Structure 1
Amino acid sequence: MPPRRHFRITAALLGLVSALSLTACGDPADGTGSAPGSGAATAGSGDGVQINLGPDQKRVSTSEVASIAALVPAEIRAKGTLDVVNSAGSVPPLTFYATDDRTVIGVEPDIASLVADVLGLKLRYHPVDWANIFVGLDSGKYDLGLSNITVTEERKEKYDFATYRLDNIAFEAKKGSDWRVKGPRDVAGKAIGVASGTNQEKVLVDWSASNVAKGLKPTDIKIYQNTSDYYLALGSGRLDAYFGPNPVAAYHAASTGRTEIVGTFSGAGDALQGKIAATTKKDNGLIKPVHEALNTVIENGTYAKVLKRWGLGDEAVPSSELNPPGLPNTASLARGGGRAPP
């Protein structure tokens, strides 16, 4: 196994082992745990609760709904697969590698699997670099993006969205800091890490520009693409904080005990609750059946089982929304969107 991949897997698994008491996991009967004798690697919390870390996930499943499957565009029905793209990475509980260092597991793959079930399609999962998610959707190489993607007004010009989770973002700092982030002034002059092309970067750029206009110091925005790199920088003091998706930050802080959350915000800003959404190329006909599939699994309870499995019940939505209001456009940065860093 390549050294970097081995490090990422080890870090992810250690985080899972430590955080099991905070992440609710179900039993094998409903697909939210490992089945006895399955041979899957598991980690236990000491009270009998286990989470499956192996490639055989025994995922929560649901039945095909013929009326919704009939809405799938003909070319996708003909190939019989739903090609779902996600940013490659090792960031529990969103998306990370199983013990075989190949199989991508987490809440995003589980939700993709439920959608494929309802649509009567075989799921094919494609982990890629973040930028290639949108390149692949644009070209038609991939059918659907599920990668902690925030709805933005700019993205709605090119893509259609069906929401499935709330989008909250957080500042994670070394534990014991008396520093708290309540707004732009609190990051003036601070070194903050962020993943490129995310709405976290967009927020920081806007905040820094606002601070400079008021005579305050700019924020030193540092770009990272690998989980291990930004956590090493945070631990060594080269960063004051890392600004990323709240589920990832909260999970890491709870599992390691070395960091803490010092500020949380909606991914869409103060005036709007951000939403995470399944993403398709605009007007290609797929978003309607995906939207109906999401509402089906929300209604039948399998969606709740998936979120419970990964400890994300507090980010549940009561129903999927089609192209809701998103993160507003700004002149300062032509990119945006929440996602888990690879």
Structure 2
Amino acid sequence: MEPITVSAHRRALLALPAVALLLAACGGPAPAAESKGNTAPDGTEVNLTADQKRVTTAKVDAIAALVPEEIRKRGTLKVVDSLGTVPPLDFYADDNKTIIGVEPDIAFLIGDVLGLKVELNPVSWENIFVGLDSGKYDLGLSNITVTEARKEKYDFATYRLDILGFEAKKGSGWKVTGPKDVAGKTISVSSGTNQEKLLVAWNEENVKAGLKPVDIKYFQNSSDYYLALGSGRIDAHLGPNPVAAFHAAQTGETEIVGTYSGAGAQVLGKIGATTKKDNGLVNALHQALDTVIKNGSYGQVLKRWGLENEAVQSSELNPPGLPKTNQ
């Protein structure tokens, strides 16, 4: 599962009511309503200000000693994330400058355990991997799914489940549990993502079974697919479940009608802290993540963003990922 790149998701949400008036004047379906408050899917009030009051934890000297000497001497952990992803993963606070979300919070917990100052470097999605390959950045934390193809170039220490969500207008009465449920529907995805691969595979399976094909629409920006969803041009959008669930909780006009593993039916999808293969950092990351999972600070971070259902019980090193046949 990859993040969906947008520059200002909060501004898109605020723009929806104005679009609603235009659509109503044209006799179209009712679009999404105004945000009902900064709440996570479980009802938790979410802090979207620059003053994050992040969860912190203590340094563990034995784990900090595992960090490669070059990084230890530098004293900073260069973390790369994708620029402006939609809440609650990695996005801008209401000052449009401070990077906040569950991914930065996890990065700061890792930095605490390792005794390193975290330096966040927001870039476009593809430049995450360019930067890791060149050694410009130490660590990628940007909702990166573990895949077998990526494991050939990168090491992973997992920290969250990879769950995809189908977001539809509330009250549709439609549920998605497998391929047959999307037959004949109009569903949007972002191109180049694992969710696109899943939807394409489901569509191929349905067509072979003689069912109606899926009308797949492509949107890269959240504002575009939310407008399409509100106007009824699509039946659902398939994307990262944290994003979909957060948006549904904020607007009150949509709901999650189905979830699925981002790695497909055969593998439980995992999100991993990502490093260049064999650069010596992944063991320290793995132990740091295990530490924050066990001491409860990890759980506090997931709770503040309403993502408790994506928690893992321990961090894994390079676990089975999305098979190459599904990529």
| TM-score between the two structures when normalised by the length of structure 2 | 0.86
- State the partner residue of 2:27: none
How far did 1:84 drift? 1.0
- State the partner residue of 1:261: 256
Asked whether the 8 Å contact 1:5–1:101 carries over to 2, the reply is no
Counterpart check, 1:11 vs 2:13: yes
Choose the corresponding residue for 1:173, options 146, 164, 168: 168
Choose the corresponding residue for 2:228, options 227, 233, 247: 233
Counting only pairs closer than 5 Å after superposition, residues 114-263 of structure 1 correspond to structure 2 as 114-263=109-258
Unaligned 5+ residue runs, structure 1?
25-49, 335-342
User: SS of the counterpart of 1:171?
Assistant: strand
How far did 1:180 drift? 2.1
Asked whether the 8 Å contact 1:81–1:122 carries over to 2, the reply is yes
Asked whether the 8 Å contact 1:166–1:316 carries over to 2, the reply is yes
- State the partner residue of 1:324: 319
- Cα distance, 1:147–1:233 mapped onto 2, change above 3 Å: same
State the alpha-carbon separation in 1 of the partners of residues 75 and 141 from structure 2.
Answer: 19
Structure 2 letter corresponding to 1:110: D
How far did 1:217 drift? 3.7
- State the partner residue of 1:31: none
How far did 1:258 drift? 1.1
**Deviation >4 Å, runs of 4+:** 4-7, 12-16
Choose the corresponding residue for 1:279, options 274, 299, 318: 274
- State the partner residue of 2:290: 295
What's the Cα RMSD here?
A: 2.2
State the alpha-carbon separation in 1 of the partners of residues 282 and 91 from structure 2.
Answer: 26
State the alpha-carbon separation in 2 of the partners of residues 324 and 7 from structure 1.
Answer: 32
How far did 1:144 drift? 0.8
The percent of aligned pairs where both chains have the same amino acid is 67
- State the partner residue of 2:86: 91
User: SS of the counterpart of 2:162?
Assistant: strand
User: How many equivalent pairs are there?
Assistant: 304
Asked whether the 8 Å contact 1:23–1:309 carries over to 2, the reply is no
- State the partner residue of 1:40: none
User: SS of the counterpart of 1:235?
Assistant: helix
User: SS of the counterpart of 2:63?
Assistant: helix
State the alpha-carbon separation in 2 of the partners of residues 129 and 5 from structure 1.
Answer: 10
**Residues 189-198 or 99-108, more deviating:** 189-198
Counterpart check, 1:52 vs 2:54: no
Asked whether the 8 Å contact 1:23–1:308 carries over to 2, the reply is no
State the alpha-carbon separation in 2 of the partners of residues 144 and 166 from structure 1.
Answer: 19
- Cα distance, 1:51–1:210 mapped onto 2, change above 3 Å: closer
1:162-201: per-residue Cα shift (whole Å, max 9, x none)?
1111111111111221322221122233221112222111
State the alpha-carbon separation in 2 of the partners of residues 178 and 53 from structure 1.
Answer: 32
Asked whether the 8 Å contact 2:48–2:93 carries over to 1, the reply is yes
How far did 1:9 drift? 4.1
Unaligned 5+ residue runs, structure 2?
1-5, 16-33
- State the partner residue of 2:73: 78
How far did 1:315 drift? 1.5
User: SS of the counterpart of 1:264?
Assistant: strand
How far did 1:108 drift? 0.7
User: SS of the counterpart of 1:150?
Assistant: coil
How far did 1:98 drift? 0.5
1:280-319: per-residue Cα shift (whole Å, max 9, x none)?
1111111110001001111221111111111112221111
| TM-score between the two structures when normalised by the length of structure 1 | 0.82
1:206-259: per-residue Cα shift (whole Å, max 9, x none)?
112222333334323222222111111111222211001112111211221211
Asked whether the 8 Å contact 1:8–1:228 carries over to 2, the reply is no
User: SS of the counterpart of 2:260?
Assistant: strand
